[in-house]
């Protein structure tokens, strides 16, 4: 029998399987509908998420909210988490800037993601970005060439990957940013198709 999310969250707080816990403020576990048919998996918490202990509440989370709304997906009916549960960062001046997790850090956290999936039992998993896709789908998965395509997975009946909202935030050109947002929305519309 699957453990409760509450128990898994408590267990994850004590995880020392990789060094990321040492510089993080706290473990940032998933949140949302514990019986969701849809699970969104991002990369790792950002600075704001690390400080507040909730996933996708910073700038990327606000952009994701806009994209979900545009796609007709109600975030309150979604469970959202990250492949890596601690914020990996480097200091630049006074700011803590995101640093991409190493494969061994992704693998160390995979147990928590698998336990979350077992507890929630989603029908659809959406991987937001390359780190999530490498954790859920395969180490070789390329979001740039395979985004928006359903792939086989033992974790859920329907799995696909799309852009991470933070990638859009880094774009400087407004037309490019708008086009990427439309791509993200188009991919997120696959959620409702998959649930029919």
pLDDT along the chain (196 residues), means of 10: 86 94 95 97 96 96 98 97 96 90 94 96 97 92 93 94 96 96 97 92
Residue given tokens 């995880």 in the structure block: 15
Report which secondary-structure segment, H or E, holds 193: helix 190-195
The tokens for 148 are 């928006």
Q: How many angstroms separate the most distant Cα atoms in the chain?
A: 49
Residue given tokens 């780190």 in the structure block: 131
For every residue of 144-188, DSSP letters joined together read: HHHTT--B--SS-SEEEEE--HHHHHT---HHHHHHHHHHHHHHH
| Calpha distance 100→119 (Å, rounded) | 27
| Calpha distance 174→107 (Å, rounded) | 36
CB 163 within 8 A of CB 178: no
| Calpha distance 170→145 (Å, rounded) | 20
| pTM for this entry | 0.95
- The ranges assigned to domains in the chain are 5-195
Per-residue pLDDT at 2: 67
Per-residue pLDDT at 196: 85
Beta bridge partner(s), residue 79: 32, 39
CATH topology of domain 5-195: Uracil-DNA Glycosylase, subunit E (3.40.470)
Q: Report DSSP state, residue 53.
A: T
For every residue of 101-121, DSSP letters joined together read: PPHHHHHHHHHHHHHHHHHH-
Report which secondary-structure segment, H or E, holds 12: helix 5-13
| Calpha distance 142→36 (Å, rounded) | 27
User: pLDDT for 6-22, tens place per residue?
Assistant: 999 999 999 999 999 99
Long-range contacts of 108-111 (CB under 8 A, 24+ apart): 108/15, 108/17, 108/18, 109/15, 109/17, 109/18, 109/83, 109/84, 109/85, 109/135, 110/83, 110/135, 111/17
């Amino acid at each position: 029998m699957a453990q409760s999310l509450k128990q898994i969250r408590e267990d994850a707080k004590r995880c020392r399987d990789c060094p990321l816990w040492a510089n993080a403020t706290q473990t940032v576990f998933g949140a949302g509908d514990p019986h969701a048919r849809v699970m969104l998996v991002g990369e790792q918490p950002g600075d704001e998420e690390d400080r507040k202990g909730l996933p996708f509440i910073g700038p990327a989370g606000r952009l994701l909210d806009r994209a979900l709304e545009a796609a007709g997906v109600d975030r309150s009916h979604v469970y959202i988490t990250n492949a890596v549960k601690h914020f990996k960062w480097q200091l630049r001046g006074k700011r803590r800037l995101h640093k991409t997790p190493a494969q061994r850090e992704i693998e160390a956290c995979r147990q928590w993601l698998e336990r979350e999936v077992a507890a929630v039992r989603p029908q659809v998993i959406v991987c937001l970005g390359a780190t999530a896709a490498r954790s859920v789908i395969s180490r070789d998965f390329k979001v740039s060439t395979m985004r928006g395509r359903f792939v086989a997975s033992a974790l859920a009946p329907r799995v696909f990957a799309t852009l991470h909202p933070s990638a859009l935030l880094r774009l400087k050109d407004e037309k490019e940013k708008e086009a990427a947002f439309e791509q993200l929305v188009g991919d997120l519309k696959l959620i409702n198709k998959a649930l029919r």
